[in-house]
Chains A and B, each alone.
Chain A
Amino acid sequence: MSERSNQDWLSELADPAAPEALADLRMLLLRGLRAALSNKIDEDLETVTEDFAQDALLKILDNLDSFRGESRFTTWAQKIAINVAFSELRRRRWKDISLQSIIETPDGDEFTPALLTDPGNSPERTISQFDIMGIVEELVTDELTERQRTAMLAMLNSDIPLAEVARQLDTNPNALYKLMHDARQRLKVRLEERTGLSALEVMELFEEPVPENR
């Protein structure tokens, strides 16, 4: 593979793109995608990565102007290819799963103190964790908007990515990130007020206890 500088890539790919540069870039993207996706997809890796590489190429060509030269061109291009691939894989994986179905936990465990007891916890420690968790659960119900609660619980109960939740809520990822950040900040402030504890103190309470005998 020829060693092109960033400038070489930009000039050779500028409209009309030179066929050799396109072919070389496609090959790079394909190899990268295959390595990254080899244990992530069941179907034919070859075909799937060909499609992703092609979509990525189009996106790269469309966005050459936005390359700021802060990294190697090939790194930047590979980033786009990975993003194209994962966005599509996520869309396929989650498109038929509603947020509501994720939120409704299958066995609807009751929140009881017994479930919180970890071996090795001292009684005071367990009760304090219990209190805090009860307060957090109340705050989620009382302090958040419906939208914030839905998104937060969906992402808590599954590994649905934020971008997918945004799509289902008809918003964009940045707006949803801000909504979630505001929600977390609100909960944090309220929790500090209700418990009289700082964030650090709360986190210390939840640290795993060191086992006596190893």
Chain B
Amino acid sequence: MAGIQPQKLKELVRRVMTTRQSEMDCQGCYDQLDQFVELRLDGKEVSQAMPLVQNHLDRCGGCCEEYEALLEALQSLDGEAA
């Protein structure tokens, strides 16, 4: 197997060393994403209110992408509301 590029190795160290004993998986995050997004839109301290979701979004690019897209979708609808 080819060697890992140095910058990637650094990223790997980060991912490994920030691993927590108990983590939420993608399904768990998805299940609570609507709640999470609403708290965020209401201006609440959501990363403290729902830390497992926040932690998952910090480490999972796929889920984070969907979260940001959901935020955008809802914000645009709020903007359109009469």
Interface of A toward B, CB cutoff 8 Å:
1, 28, 31-37, 70-72, 74-76, 78-79, 81-83, 85-86, 90, 103-105, 108-111, 115-116, 129, 132-133, 136-137, 140-141, 149, 152-153, 156-157, 159, 161-163, 173-174, 177-178, 181, 184-185, 187-188, 191, 199, 202-203, 206
Considering only CB atoms, which chain B residue lies closest to A32 in the complex? B73
- The yes or no answer to B48 lying at the interface (CB within 8 A) is no
Complex interface: chain A residues within 8 A of B49 (CB): none
26 contacts between A and B (CB under 8 A): A33-B73, A35-B77, A37-B69, A70-B35, A75-B38, A78-B70, A79-B37, A105-B3, A111-B4, A111-B6, A133-B10, A133-B13, A136-B9, A136-B12, A137-B9, A153-B4, A173-B25, A177-B25, A178-B25, A187-B16, A188-B16, A188-B17, A191-B13, A203-B17, A206-B10, A206-B14
Rounded to whole Å, the gap between the CB of B15 and the closest CB of chain A is: 6
- Given A108-B2, A109-B5, A206-B10: A35 and B73 interface contact (C-beta under 8 Å): yes
Do A174 and B27 touch (CB < 8 A)? yes
Interface of B toward A, CB cutoff 8 Å:
1-6, 8-19, 21, 23, 25-27, 30, 32-35, 37-38, 60-62, 65-66, 69-70, 72-77, 80-81
Name the prevailing secondary structure of the A interface residues: helix
Among the listed A28, A133, A181, A203, which residue makes an inter-chain contact with B9, where contact means beta carbons less than 8 Å apart? A133
Complex formed: what's the CA distance from A19 to B39 in Å?
A: 31
Complex interface: chain B residues within 8 A of A181 (CB): 19, 23, 25
Complex interface: chain B residues within 8 A of A199 (CB): 17-18
Rounded to whole Å, the gap between the CB of A97 and the closest CB of chain B is: 15
